Structure 1
């Protein structure tokens, strides 16, 4: 028996033809760096870089569809101004970090239609208008920080005094809500409360301010899971009976999805924000465009780690649509770059087109 021959046959199984792009990275030997070409090369880089390229393409498709005339149902109480209704979901740590400024740009320029987030994002967007978060280190000792009244979010530091400022700011709003309920039978939902907060903060650094200004609803199904809930708890001993109606919001977000011509989901992180957006899109038999960015894995059966294909099985992503994208990455690393290649370019082009047509710039 020819051992070498049989071994080679085992190693070199006959290849089938495969039609795919050539793997190739960016050539840095050029005289200057072409950043558009650099990011374009991600498509053929492989691994998560290729998923980055696919996410850029997917979001640009959402924006192209957004520019088309809307032909869906008419519902006066929801945003239905575009051919693609874009849902942007993000966990609170995105607002803790500098991604807040990136999200603010998207909201200020009216480039998405619905926001879904967690309680920490609501309070920290307001808190940052009152006092800054600061950069620390991941390995700061928790016991020492506690003794100094300093709270750590990863490598960010938030002093307790910032939460005290937030409580002082929020109490008058809760008083107003309570009085409106008792005197005028106004029943508040989380999104109505958040809208009021955006109006009252009156600060252009705030995501919530621009959401209020542009009439973009902000949904927070876990509104009491954080400092907002803490302040509401303390307030309830002064004025008991304030009602928060979640049913108003589930009707509004679901009807927004159902009434849309097309929908796109961009979801940074997992947990309740990921599921809340996907479940709203279930009501219309799935989203047309989907981008997930998170580090969660599917092996434990969690919704955070669930792949886009799992969402297809539930009807939360439309079967037969453009292949959904998941980037396995921590969002602060890639989302600013994605914005540069999508929302920022789209906004610049829209502004240029308005100028050329004699209209005001955005």
Structure 2
């Protein structure tokens, strides 16, 4: 299913019908209401930011809860980025589209059309801001559609913070290089702030005295609260309050942050070579030192140095997590096979863990 090409041009008028064929009159009515909300969100009138954020949240909630309307939402927002005479209005449409791409994906039958349109917008024929917005939208869709990372409905506080920061300003699902380019130089950090903050939070919450640290799952609601607090400017104190008594919360979010990197700590191009060195400390370290770029190497060694603090016998006695246990937990966050075949991934999981265990035991 695809929308009519003539309908995919910017309009400041309400829709009379849905852009796609929907199953019922009620669904078509909902589609018309959605477009009214999108128009108001994009408008340049005297609406305060909280009202805009509420409108955005209403659109996200519909898409999150009503799968039939997801493709319609993507169409409506792309329509408003096509031939829009207002740079501000177009920017807001892209921002809402970016949030939608991180919250829910399209139907399987709609993926090809949606990817094609967004890829065209990310091409050289588009302006710089449009290319950038389309690129980060595609990155979010890749995470949800190709890598099956679950979407999340964000709180309004996060939306308000993102409205101030611009499209694609999240600390999650963002390449290491981009995180470093946006990071305040005054922090004088050689690795991204989320990695420093989350590893520190685990330690402050007595992670080294917590049984099953990194293995035991934390409450999903608490993890999401911490995720969005950490990702909202000015909310670090609140973030600290959420995880100071439960190390599992920050430990789970650390794994989530690593797992959602578009390019893992060990890049996909080195995946097979890495597995070939499992159990061979000299070969594994030679691979890391000789083939990882400087940033990925710094991130890897920072993480390994942190994990090695859990190796002393008294810490292992408390956590019940030795090097092999840590490797089993962290291997899926540091390595990513190109194949998404479940049996293939399962067959390589032990070798992945062996490689990471080799690094934990021997990298310094």
Q: Which TM class, normalised by the smaller chain length?
A: under 0.3
Structure of greater relative contact order (alpha carbons < 8 Å, 6+ residues apart) = 1
Higher fraction of strand: 1
TM-score using structure 2 length: 0.24
Bigger radius of gyration among the two: 1
